Chain A
Amino acid sequence: MLEIKNLHARVAETGTEILRGIDLKVEAGEVAAIMGPNGSGKSTLSYILAGREDYEVTEGDILFNGESILEMDPAERAASGVFLAFQYPLEIPGVATMTFLKTAVNAQRKARGEAELTTPDFMRRVKTSAADLKIDMDMLKRPLNVGFSGGEKKRAEILQMALLQPTLCVMDETDSGLDIDALKIVSDGVNALRGPERAFLVITHYQRLLDHIVPDTVHVLYKGRIIRSGDKSLALTLENEGYAQIIGEAA
């Protein structure tokens, strides 16, 4: 489903190279975890997958379902099935959450040549997903993410994911800022979306999230390259030994 080939990228403004040749394949139905110390390029990778313009790809390619997405803008990528759950979801005053959700859902449907959802149909979907994630409908009457707590923002991201039904979900440190209860709710929301047609790229610092969202593969990112890949036991090894050992072996 996702194939990253020798991906090199730098910050457009400063020219600082962040990704230095990433190779990664994620199959449909797979949950791949990306772990790594601070500054290894984890968040950059997620932004580049979503199409953020602050970064320049200087070499390599990203294939999604066999086709390069490098020339697509973020909206086109989203309509083709890519979703990024932000580490820090943005607060946008003046944009009503429900208006935003409906605009996004229908824009994607339109881009895919599907009929737009009627308001009752849309509301039904929102209510169902919100209930699963223990999101109060009153919260959705507020402007987008404005005044939401850290946990509410993360739950709102998963709500968006549930409504948009992407096929590739990139989750950037979804566990940061969550207490244990919220972590459980968010993980349950993610697990409910797991399926044979959908792949996940779960970016995290800690093993903790992977107790709840159990990965099929674990990859260690360091200085813009993947230096080790393994199964879920690799995450446990990292938790016990830290990154130093693996980094030492790779050097």
Chain B
Amino acid sequence: MTVHQLRPRTAAESALIALAPSAPVAVHAQAALDALHREGLPNRRVEAWHYTDLRQLIARATSGAVEAGQADDVLAPLLAGSLVVELGAGTAPSGADRDGLSLAHTGDSADWRTSPNHLDRPVDTVRLLNAAFGATAVRVSVEAGTELPPIELRAQGTAAGAHGFAICDVAAGAKAVIVERLSANAGGAPFSTGVSNLDIGDGAEVLWIVDQTKSAGDTHLGQLNVRIGADARFKLFVLNAGGALVRYEVHSETVGEGADIAIRGVNLLRDKQHVDVTTTLVHSVAHTTATEVFRNVVTGGTGVFQGMIKVAPGAQKTDAKMACNSLLLSDEGEFLAKPELEIFADDVQCGHGATAGEINEDHLFYLMSRGIPETSARALLVKAFVAEVVEELEHDAAVEALEARIDAWLELSA
């Protein structure tokens, strides 16, 4: 007999567990499913999930009406000319093989037995769900020194929702643009998960774009784990422009000196949404840099930013800064920011700042005094607030595509 006391399951938690495939194809998935039955979902007492109480909020995933989304295969990629790679549960990866790129289905599940975020439970929640729902890995390898057209990763929908697991290796000196497409869950359950492990070789450059436009009833739990080699550059852009309940985790580790991280993101929030971005940037070696800026537009709902910067002993000359700025356009919405620094080296520069404000009335008056009507002037200022971080991408096609997404969201909110 075990001393371990099982908590009673919430109805929604049980419903979600019941949603998982009962006889998973992969061996690992069965173990994950057993663990899911045993562990359940984290609640607010688990620090990593304090602001996103999954046990309570998961009701959105099981009660949300399935909206008729557009099937993935007819969606145009975010960036024209992209190679689309389907992350299926148990299917061979599609997407043309070409010089410098190889795709393989490995059958592995995400390893949920350890968590990159020490504030989570002994099991990693996002990976556990991803594995239990049957996601198995597609390995995307970019050969050293190559530069390919953009790659767009999409998880195929099933009755149990869309669940993708990608292992991306970008070898030394290569340049890659990878879009993680998180479009509306079509057909199956309004629940999706995604795990990506990205390994960036020495001197390589990766621009990773998260394009999240889930439907108003969808739940998505995502995680990106990144290792960044010497003199390598990792640029990440996260756009959250949809979903009922969304959590996107980024866990990075610099493993070579000279590694540079630039994370930018825009969270657009409406009534009834809960959107959480949680990042853990671990600086393990000396001479690495990171900047992280999120801009949030809140017309309703709840936004969460948890940003952790960890500097390991000996990781001298780390220069890491993060900022989380929110524009609150309504009294109905809220944005919770929890920046944290954990520094075990004595010669570093680390900083964080969180701000929340409203539209600047002086700016509004200036625009209106030139004849721009109030609604248009406000829209211009909201757009300006987020455009600043989008434009830092220095990738014209990506800037244009993301601004189009943001414009579409703003028009719906006007």
| Cβ 8 A contact of B372, one of A53, A83, A94, A104 | A104
A74-B365, A86-B369, A107-B373 provided; 12 other pairs, C-beta below 8 A? A51-B369, A73-B374, A74-B369, A75-B374, A75-B377, A78-B369, A78-B370, A79-B371, A92-B367, A94-B386, A95-B367, A100-B370
| Complex alpha-carbon distance, A92 and B362, angstroms | 10
**Chain B residues closer than 8 Å to A89, beta-carbon distance:** 366
- Docked-complex contact B372 and A107, CB < 8 angstroms: yes
Most chain A CB neighbours (cut-off 10 Å) among B361, B362, B369, B373: B369
Q: How far is the CB of B368 from chain A (nearest CB, A)?
A: 4
Given A52-B365, A92-B363, A95-B381: A75 and B372 within 8 A (CB)?
yes
Closest to A77 in B: B369
Question: Hey, which bits of chain B sit against chain A, CB under 8 A?
Answer: 361-363, 365-374, 376-377, 380-381, 383-388, 391
Complexed CA–CA distance, A198 and B366 (Å) = 22
Q: Please determine whether B381 and A92 come into contact, CB atoms closer than 8 angstroms.
A: yes
Residues of A within 8 A of B365 (CB): 50, 52-53, 74
The interface on chain A, measured as residues whose beta carbon lies within 8 A of the other chain's beta carbons, has a size of: 29
Instruction: Pick the contact of B371: A52, A75, A86, A99 (CB < 8 A).
Output: A75
Instruction: Give the A-B contact count at a CB cut-off of 8 A.
Output: 76
Is the CB of A19 closer than 8 A to any CB of chain B? no
Interface flags, A71-108, vs B, CB<8A=1, else 0: 00111011100011010011011110001100110011
Cα separation A84 to B372 with both chains bound (whole Å): 14
The answer to whether B362 and A94 touch across the interface, beta carbons within 8 angstroms, is no
Say yes or no: is A164 at the interface (Cβ < 8 Å to chain B).
Answer: yes
**Distance between Cα atoms of A108 and B371 in the complex (Å):** 5
Task: Determine whether A160 belongs to the interface, using a CB cutoff of 8 Å to chain B.
Answer: yes
* B387 touching A100, Cβ below 8 Å: no
A94 to B389, CA, bound (A): 9
Q: Are B363 and A90 in contact (CB under 8 A)?
A: yes
Q: Could you tell me if A100 and B368 are in contact, using CB atoms closer than 8 angstroms? A: no
- What are the nearest 4 A-B pairs in CB distance? A94-B384, A78-B371, A108-B371, A104-B370
- Kindly report which residue of chain B lies nearest to residue A93, judged by CB atoms: B388
User: Shortest beta-carbon distance, A46 to chain B, in Å?
Assistant: 10
Contact A74 B384 (CB under 8 A): no
Beyond A75-B377, A100-B380, A103-B380, whether A94 also contacts B387 by CB under 8 A is yes
Bound-state Cα–Cα, A5 to B255, Å = 73
Decide yes or no whether A111 CB sits under 8 A from chain B: yes
Residues from chain A with Cβ under 8 Å of B363 in the complex: 90, 92
Specify which chain B residues have a CB less than 8 angstroms from the CB of A93 in the assembled complex: 384, 388
Bound together, the chains give a CA A77 to CA B373 distance in angstroms of 10
Are B366's CB and A103's CB within 8 A?
A: no
A74-B365, A75-B377 given; A94·B370 CB < 8 A:
no
Tell me the bound Cα distance from A93 to B383 in angstroms: 10
What are the residues of chain B within 8 A of A86 when measuring CB–CB? 366, 369
User: Contact at B366–A92, with CB atoms within 8 Å?
Assistant: yes
Residues of A within 8 A of B376 (CB): 103, 107
The reply to whether A103 and B372 form a contact with Cβ atoms under 8 Å apart is: yes
Compute how far the CA of A73 lies from the CA of B371 in the bound complex, rounded to whole angstroms: 9
A90 to B387, CA, bound (A): 18
Q: Are A94 and B373 in contact (CB under 8 A)?
A: no
Name A58-76 residues within 8 Å CB distance of B.
Answer: 73-75
Residue of A nearest to B383 (CB): A94
20 CB contacts below 8 A, A to B, read A50-B365, A50-B369, A74-B368, A75-B373, A78-B370, A84-B369, A92-B384, A94-B387, A95-B367, A95-B380, A95-B381, A99-B380, A103-B380, A104-B367, A104-B371, A107-B372, A107-B373, A107-B376, A108-B371, A164-B370
What's the minimum C-beta distance from B394 to chain A, rounded to whole angstroms? 15
